[in-house]
Amino acid sequence: MITKKNATITAVGGYVPDTILTNKMLESKVNTSDEWITSRTGIKERRILNDVNLATSDMAAFAVKNLLQESGIDPKSIDCVILATSTPDHILAPTAPLICEKAGLINAWGFDLNAACSGFLYALSVGASFIESNRYKRIIVIGADQMSAIVNYEDRDTCVLFGDGAGAVLLESSTDENGLIDNIFKVDGKGNAFLSVPAGGSLFPASALTIEHKKHFIQQDGRTVFKSAILGMTSTCIEIMERNALKTEDIDWIIPHQANLRIIEAVSNNLNFPMNKVKVNIEKYGNTTAATIPLCMWDFKKDFKEGDNLLVTAFGAGFTYGSTFLKWGKQHTQKL
């Protein structure tokens, strides 16, 4: 008889740069204020990678090293790395191999996945499939983005929102009930018109004109994204709860994508879920895109107990969105 294997999160790591960009500091760059930013987004500060010699791969490697150090896992035992990012070091070659090199994962292969702010959840699902198939034993899934590289600091509507960071989790197989239980993912290609970096790809390659018109920076219709995010995250949370016969009281924690505190509060209200059970760290980091969810797992890992039911939800450019239901696994701890 074949025993079903679940893919379980057994270790978490994270990294944020040392440089802090506060709302007060942004007041000197654009026509804004601490009160305006805080009341509309919940963000007080964000971290910025300001070393020109470092990039997304370095933040991701630092997060992986943190995971390995805290858990006592041998880097040689890692089979695969899946990186979710919208800000790769280069358009070509991929960033995952650089992470393997910098983090000493000499036996691992890896690849990049771009689903914007939903990227970590999508990558987690792919990694879980690899584990469940019994092809691989240990997979590190990373969400990392250097959003400061694609933010126009003359545009107050976007520059106040984003920060830099990386989070990583280790997936291993488990024969108990812990692990990733279910996913619901959706896309809406019409969303491309409302949130994107227009230039730099094959449609609009870099040119003097795209640079002049600042088409290599994030551009968004904030009102449309705001409404769509609330609808998308709420609807997929409800759908996954119904599909798994879950009631509000069955969920121990919700980890939402950290895009805007008002979005998070609206989703929580729609689900009739108390905010004291919703993990929020947006005030410290802003929107780090694919990194927000693993950074929440890293920040609050001491709050999660083995077997806790977690509902994780995200929404991003594309539009991409979805929700994941998982049971928290037993965590590795470093033996001193």
**What is the per-residue pLDDT across 199-226, written as a single tens digit (0 to 9) for each?**
999 999 999 999 999 999 999 999 999 9
| Predicted local confidence at residue 335, as pLDDT | 57
Residue 176 has a pLDDT of 87
Choosing from 66, 100, 257, 260, the catalytic residue is 257
**Tokens found for residue 19:** 């440089």
Domains, the chain: 6-175 (3.40.47.10), 180-327 (3.40.47.10)
> What b-and-e string marks burial along 42-71, b requiring 16 or more CB atoms within 10 Å of the CB?
bbbbbbbbeeeebbbbbbbbbbbbbbbebb
| DSSP at 287 | B
Over its C-alpha atoms, the chain yields an Rg (Å, rounded) of 19
Cβ 243 vs Cβ 184: under 8 Å: yes
Whether 237 is catalytic is no
Which of these is catalytic: 66, 80, 100, 117? 117
CA distance 146 to 165: 7
pLDDT band at 336 (very low <50, low <70, confident <90, very high): very low
Q: Tell me the sheet residues that pair with 138.
A: 172
Catalytic site includes residue 117: yes
Question: 114, 159, 287, 296: which one is catalytic?
Answer: 287
Whether the CB-CB separation of 320 and 187 falls below 8 Å is answered with yes
pLDDT cut 70: percent of the chain above it:
98
**Tens digits of residue pLDDT in 136-187:** 999 999 999 999 999 999 998 999 999 999 999 999 998 889 999 999 999 9
- Chain Cα centroid distance, residue 63: 13
CB-based burial of residue 81 (10 Å sphere; 0-12 exposed, 13-18 middle, 19+ buried)? buried
Structure-block tokens of residue 117: 């702010």
According to the model, what pLDDT value does residue 5 have?
A: 81
- What tens digit of pLDDT does each residue of 308-330 get? 999 999 999 999 999 999 999 99
Average pLDDT, the chain: 95
Is the predicted pLDDT of residue 91 greater than 90, yes or no?
yes
Residue pair 312/293 in contact (Cβ under 8 Å)? The answer is yes
For residue 278, give the DSSP letter. B
**What is the Cα–Cα distance from 154 to 159, expressed in whole angstroms?**
7
Distance CA 66, CA 73 (A): 10
d(Cα 41, Cα 18) in Å, to the nearest integer?
A: 22
- Give yes or no for a contact between 294 and 168, defined as CB atoms under 8 angstroms apart: yes
Token pair 């020109």 is found at 52
Instruction: Specify whether the CB–CB gap between 171 and 127 falls below 8 A.
Output: yes
Q: Is 287 a catalytic residue?
A: yes
Element at 311 (helix H, strand E): strand 309-316
Q: Using pLDDT thresholds of 50, 70 and 90, give the confidence band for residue 3.
A: low
The pLDDT confidence band at residue 97, using thresholds 50, 70 and 90, is very high
* 291: nearest Cα among 79, 80, 56: 56
Tens-place pLDDT, residues 13-66: 999 999 999 999 999 889 899 999 999 999 999 999 999 999 999 999 999 999
Give the pLDDT of residue 26: 95
d(CA 35, CA 333): 41
